[in-house]
Amino acid sequence: MRWWWLIGLALVAGCGSGGSDDLKVSAASSLKPPFTQLGGARFSFAGSDQLAAQIRSGAKPDVFAAANAKLPDELYADGLVEQPVAFAGNRLVLAVAPKSRIAGLADLVTPGVAIAMGSSSVPIGSYTEKVLSGLPAAQRAAIMRNVRSREPDVAGVIGKLTEGAVDAGFVYVTDVRAAGGRAEAIELPAALEPDVTYEAAVVKGSGHPARARAFIEGLLSGRAAAALRRAGFLPAP
Amino acid sequence: MLSAELRHPLRGFALDVSLRVAPGECLAVAGPSGAGKTTALRAIAGLLRAEHAAVRCGAAVWDGPGVRIAPEQRRCGFVFQDYALFGHMTAWENVAYGIRPTRPRAARRAAATALLDRFGAGDLAAARPRDLSGGERQRVALARALARRPAALLLDEPLSALDAATRADARRALRTLLAESGAPALLVTHDFAEAALLADRIAILEHGHVLQEGDAATLAAEPRSAFVASFTGATTLRGSATRRADGLTAVALDGGGSILATDEETGRVAVVVHPWDVTLEPPGAVAGSAQNRIDATVVTITPAGNRLRIGLQAGQPLAAEITPAGAQRLGLAPGMTVLATWKATATRLVPEEYARARHG
Amino acid sequence: MMARPFAVACGAALAVAVAFLALPVVAVFADAPPRDLVSALGDDAALDALRLSFECSALALVAVVVIGTPAAWLLATRRFPGRAALVTLVELPLVMPPAVAGIGLLAALGPDGILGGITGRHLVLQTAGVVVALAFVSAPFYLRLAQAGFAAVDPALLEASRTLGAGEARTFARVAVPSARAALAAGAALAWGRALGEFGATLMFAGSFRGVTQTAPLAIYERFSTDLTAALALSAVLIAVSAGLLLAVKLATRDAVG
């Protein structure tokens, strides 16, 4: 009978210890390329809206890093996180396959072109909607008619493009960079470019608030900041 | 006429038989388990591909050089040991399964019910197999086998799934089947009594070979080998035979005792005595004309129909059949010593090596 | 003497299992007031998602049953070289993470995939692609149970059918399938349930677009971050339907035992 107890103990010990010392960071999908180069933390990547909803449902990561300011600000207003800090910027681009015949937004209205974009609640999706709302109504309608998938995060959008499922997708310029040669970025007219601000906040109830704050400071000036630069993120506006 | 020549390797030996059954005739292939009987039956039905098979039924060649007809194209009615009725169909649907599906449903139902009637199962037409007793299921299976108007009937241990009480009725149903169909019938059983009651001729199969073929009485009375003898229910005693000057043969039995026989044999023999030829008398009784007298101990007393089968031990086992009245007169009880007597003329001698030579 | 503590331990294990499995189900229904659930279902997008889920899963199920039944029959009744490997192969999607299934489908049938020239744009981001993804992940459930069901049919029944004049096709249709119907129905129910709940492979292969490819699970995922009540409502409907499915199968095959 003795070995039953041993197994039980081992399980309990395993559950308890599993890296509870590591910092838990919930981060937007677009932050995956720079963040996975960092150590000392366990990262969870998903659409920022999904992560915010988890925090609302009681999940307690140590840090929440979102691709917009709206979601952290809402959580702050509801007392779920400490004051958010802006730590990076980004640019929206139109991603296409290499050697694509699409050269700009005008080419997106042609019937038969397949486009992917984010869903309304994920930052990349709402940014894209803002871009499109700056276009004439007819052009916007024609482009929306060509949208074939509203992905839950930006990884899904760039994925559909690199798989050849769509001809174009609205992503961040950092995603195109991370895709290597499998995607090319077409700049959007400056007038349409939205303000893309990344904010991070310490989650209230975190087990390591001091280390969480240190991590966020590192995003502004430290190894993490350097990694963000290398990946193509802009400094915080 | 159904004729089958089959050769097929089995475990440890090979099946090698040649069988012939005339229309209206029933041939029983009887033998112990594992002798190859069911293999032969399945090969004839086409359910098994024998290594070599030449099977003809009437004018049709079912298996031959370059020819092998699929089982569904052989018109044979097969009755399985456990009947293999389709559980998801009613009795009449089971029977109608073999009737051509092109006929309208009502006609098929009527034909199926009529067939069931011939076996006294007409009122079971709408019942499902799981609600039927063993005997009822057997009737449905028999009716089903006839549905295709088969050119040959193949029956696999048709009575073994039934208890003793139902068997009598079932035998009658089987005889109806055989009479109604008029097709050659091949029946497989491990029970000689069953074969004797159902078949016209019996072929005894052992280790894949037919040892002897004939009607039941001949096989029981004139077994050609010790195996046939014991299979047909006779007692076999082992001993060594020597010819005597007066023309009789003396056999020194293993285990003690000596008997006389009129058969001419020498060397190692099996002594075959039928239980009904053995008389029991109190020990030390005055000698009658029966030459063979052995002291034996009563071991078992078993009722067999309207007789009693007495199991005896006399250095070797021996069996006698007497009436209950006779047993009562003797005050027969297990453990008693009696004198078992029988005539020298009722003693068959079969050379022991004959039984062994055929199959190592 | 040893039985008592053992029986108690088994009972405790059962209680834990039941609680673990039932709690999320109960919580879905308990977490939001019924009025909100019903009104959230009035949402057109939710109705679209449900309709799409049922249509696609039903189509996938039909394809799986039509192709899978004869295939399972062959696997169950024949011995041929490589059979074991083949069985393992068709069961592979069972242990494959749905995302991997999605990638596999893309690699095979996506525009850049092996058969991309033929299937190309006809599947990816299309409703047909959803059906393909659902069929892929749910087929092994059906195949497994169908194969086991056919293998369990008494061989004497099949032989009896042959001796009664039925060729293999008729034997299959009139004896094997009815005899195995309990297993076939259970397999179909399981496959349908799996198809209804499929998320990862659908998202990767067919995308998510309302009315075209956004099935109920994808809609739930999308609503989770903005409108939890709507997510709960859709979840409740899916649970109710799945339970109804299971119940229907149990009732229908009630008399198939024996």
**Touch of B by A (3+ CB pairs closer than 8 Å):** no
CATH, range A92-187: 3.40.190.10
Please state the rounded mean pLDDT for residues A125-139: 94
Asked if the structure places residue C147 within a domain, the reply is yes
Instruction: Please give the pLDDT value at position A58.
Output: 86
Instruction: Please give the pLDDT value at position C3.
Output: 66
Give the residue range(s) of CATH 3.40.190.10 domains in chain A: 22-89+196-230, 92-187
**In this structure, what token pair is assigned to residue C145?**
């149970």
Interface test with A, best of C225, C226, C229 (most A CBs within 10 A): C225
| Residue C100: CATH number of its domain | 1.10.3720.10
Range list of H helices, A78-148:
123-133, 137-146
How is C35-68 classified by DSSP, letter by letter?
HHHHHHHT-HHHHHHHHHHHHHHHHHHHHHHHHH
Work out the pLDDT band at A35, boundaries 50, 70, 90.
Answer: very high
C255: nearest CA partner in chain B: B88
Of C132, C85, C83, residue with least CA distance to C109: C132
C180: nearest CA partner in chain B: B88
Query: Average pLDDT, whole number, for chain B?
Result: 85
Question: Cβ–Cβ of C125/A152 closer than 8 Å?
Answer: no
Q: Does the pLDDT value for residue C229 go beyond 70? A: yes
Which of B75, B76, B80 is the closest to C156 by Cβ?
A: B80
Distance of CA A103 to the CA centre of its chain: 25
| Residue at token pair 């809206």 | A49
Please state the rounded mean pLDDT for residues B195-218: 86
Instruction: Please give the pLDDT value at position A171.
Output: 95
Please state the rounded mean pLDDT for residues C157-178: 93
- Pick from B115-129, B324-338, C161-175 the range whose average pLDDT is largest: C161-175
Work out the pLDDT band at C258, boundaries 50, 70, 90.
Answer: very low
**In this structure, what token pair is assigned to residue C126?**
């299309």
3-state secondary structure of A16: helix
CATH, range A22-89+196-230: 3.40.190.10
Rounded to a whole number, what is the distance in angstroms from the first to the last CA of chain B?
34
Please state the rounded mean pLDDT for residues B15-31: 91
Cα–Cα dist C139/C64, whole Å: 6
Instruction: Please give the pLDDT value at position A61.
Output: 92
Asked if the structure places residue C181 within a domain, the reply is yes
Work out the pLDDT band at A4, boundaries 50, 70, 90.
Answer: low
Higher pLDDT, residue C254 or B276: B276
Cβ-contact B157, B35 below 8 angstroms:
no
Half-sphere exposure in the Cβ direction for B87 (13 Å, CA):
16
DSSP strand pairing (A41-46 vs A23-28): parallel
3-state secondary structure of C76: helix
pTM of the shown model: 0.77
Instruction: Please give the pLDDT value at position B305.
Output: 67
List for chain B the helix, strand, coil content (%; round to 5). 30, 35, 35
Work out the pLDDT band at B359, boundaries 50, 70, 90.
Answer: very low
Asked if the structure places residue C253 within a domain, the reply is yes
Instruction: Please give the pLDDT value at position A13.
Output: 56
Question: Cβ–Cβ of C164/B147 closer than 8 Å?
Answer: yes
Question: Cβ–Cβ of A159/C207 closer than 8 Å?
Answer: no
Q: Does the pLDDT value for residue B34 go beyond 90? A: no
Instruction: Please give the pLDDT value at position B360.
Output: 33
Instruction: Please give the pLDDT value at position B356.
Output: 40
Question: Cβ–Cβ of C110/A163 closer than 8 Å?
Answer: yes
List for chain A the helix, strand, coil content (%; round to 5). 45, 20, 35
| Residue at token pair 């925090």 | A55
Instruction: Please give the pLDDT value at position A2.
Output: 67
Distance of CA B332 to the CA centre of its chain: 31
* C contacts of B73 (beta carbons < 8 Å): 165
Cα–Cα dist B212/B31, whole Å: 11
Please state the rounded mean pLDDT for residues A121-138: 94
Instruction: Please give the pLDDT value at position A18.
Output: 46
Asked if the structure places residue C22 within a domain, the reply is no
Cα–Cα dist B20/B1, whole Å: 7
C98-110 tens-digit pLDDT:
888 888 888 888 8
Please state the rounded mean pLDDT for residues B288-309: 81
C140-164 tens-digit pLDDT:
999 999 999 999 999 999 999 999 9
Which of A57, A116, A122 is the closest to C207 by Cβ?
A: A116
B118-135 tens-digit pLDDT:
888 888 889 999 999 888
- Domain housing C226: 34-257
- Strands (E) in B254-336, as ranges, are 258-261, 267-273, 279-281, 292-304, 307-313, 317-322
**In this structure, what token pair is assigned to residue A80?**
């779920």
Please state the rounded mean pLDDT for residues B24-39: 87
Question: Cβ–Cβ of C165/B148 closer than 8 Å?
Answer: yes
Q: Does the pLDDT value for residue B262 go beyond 80? A: yes
* A contacts of C228 (beta carbons < 8 Å): 53, 57
Instruction: Please give the pLDDT value at position B227.
Output: 78
Q: Does the pLDDT value for residue B83 go beyond 50? A: yes
d(CA C60, nearest CA chain B) in Å: 28
The CA radius of gyration of chain A, in Å to the nearest whole number, is: 20
Q: Does the pLDDT value for residue B193 go beyond 80? A: no
How is B275-290 classified by DSSP, letter by letter?
GGG-EEE-TTPPP-S-
Asked if the structure places residue C6 within a domain, the reply is no
Q: Does the pLDDT value for residue B99 go beyond 50? A: yes
Enumerate neighbours of A (3 or more CB pairs within 8 A): C
Q: What is the complex's ipTM, to 2 decimals?
A: 0.77
State the angle between helix axes of C127-151 and C83-95 in degrees (0 to 180), rounded to the nearest 10: 130
Say how many domains are in chain C: 1
Instruction: Please give the pLDDT value at position C245.
Output: 77
Cβ-contact B121, B139 below 8 angstroms:
yes
B139-153 tens-digit pLDDT:
899 899 988 889 999
3-state secondary structure of B121: coil
Higher pLDDT, residue B156 or B163: B156
Range list of H helices, A80-189:
123-133, 137-146, 154-162, 173-178
Cβ-contact C224, A53 below 8 angstroms:
yes
Asked if the structure places residue C8 within a domain, the reply is no
Work out the pLDDT band at A10, boundaries 50, 70, 90.
Answer: low
Q: Does the pLDDT value for residue B354 go beyond 50? A: no
Cβ-contact B226, B252 below 8 angstroms:
no
